[in-house]
Amino acid sequence: MNTIRRFYEKNGYYVARGVFSPGAIRVLERDFDRIVTQLQRGNEELNARWGGPEMERLGAANTVVLHTHNVQHYSAAWLRAIQRREFLKIVEALIGPDIILHHTKLFQKPAEKGAPFPMHQDWTYFPTEKDSMMAAIIHVSAATDAMGCFRVYPGSHKLGRVPATSGQNENDCLTKYPLDGATALTAKPGDVVFFNYFLLHGSKPNRSAHVRKTVLVQMHAGDDAVEAGNGHPNEHLVLQGWNHRATRNMANAAKG
């Protein structure tokens, strides 16, 4: 685990191979597809394609990425997946033994028209007081460069908080890190990419004949807390250990 932590601290990410077995992935893909089918039967807007000038430059006007938050609200199999020991022991090596779930996100990039994501940092969306926030991308399908796999600039997390790096606006810093120059992190089903929320990352369109399926898990340390003004779902779910910042009001926030 020390080797994993050293690589992560140097590069801002770590690719863990085969965290989920082929059998486990078959179950998770079944429920992934079931979630998508259930959502498509409704009238909700599922396309989470970004806007902005960089998307225009990428020619993304007619692309699609299907999305929903919090797969564990749909599927017990996915709740068990994010509590899997083999998964959490890697997170523990990176942020410590107390692990709090902020949210999960399902992304499906359809074949031939899957939307890209411009280079960006994640911290602008849900900054935490101690900057312990990190994410893990669980690969439900393969992810090749042609399928629009995750792309990163190794070591860019050392830039720290760069203002206006959400990826949806013009930014002098981001122009220095074009999507074409980023390192492509290809993956097989069951692989997981862990990354720091300062890491500059993005992905190209899926122009292949295959659907790309991933679930992103956003987590922070148990002694950290999301800063005021966060607009994303915030689950406050303890995946491991203890939530040192929990309050009665926080525990009651899920009323409805």
Q: What is the pLDDT of residues 25-67, one digit of tens each?
A: 999 999 999 999 999 999 888 998 888 887 877 877 889 999 9
Mean pLDDT for the stretch of residues 6-21: 98
Cα–Cα separations (whole angstroms), residue 197 to 21, 141, 204: 27, 23, 19
Q: Which two tokens stand for residue 36?
A: 């998508």
Whether the Cβ atoms of residue 219 and residue 177 lie closer than 8 Å to each other: no
**pLDDT at residue 248 greater than cutoff 70:** yes
For residue 40, the Cα-to-chain-centroid distance in whole angstroms is: 22
Determine the pLDDT at residue 254: 60
**201 strand-pairing partners:** 120, 152
Q: Where are the beta strands (DSSP E) in 77-191?
A: 99-109, 117-120, 134-139, 150-152, 183-185
Q: What pLDDT is attached to residue 246? A: 96
Answer left, alpha or beta for residue 18, where phi above 0 means left and psi between -120 and 50 means alpha: left
59 or 184, higher pLDDT: 184
Kindly tell me if the per-residue pLDDT of 256 is higher than 50.
no
Q: Where are the alpha helices (DSSP H) in 41-182?
A: 53-57, 76-81, 85-95, 172-175
Q: Does residue 255 have a pLDDT over 60?
A: no
Handedness of CA 174, 180, 185, 186 (dihedral sign): positive
Q: Which CATH superfamily is domain 2-252 in?
A: q2cbj1_9rhob like domain (2.60.120.620)
Q: pLDDT by residue (tens digit) across 62-108?
A: 899 999 999 999 999 999 999 999 999 999 999 999 999 999 999 99
| CA-to-CA dists, residue 3 to 6, 127, 133, 183, angstroms | 5, 27, 20, 21
Per residue in 106-148, pLDDT tens?
Answer: 999 999 999 999 999 999 999 999 999 999 999 999 999 999 9
Going from the C-alpha of 244 to that of each of 128, 156, 237, the distances in angstroms are 14, 30, 12
* Domain boundaries along the sequence of the chain: 2-252
Report the b/e string of 198-211 with b at 16+ CB within 10 A: bbbbbbbbbbbebb
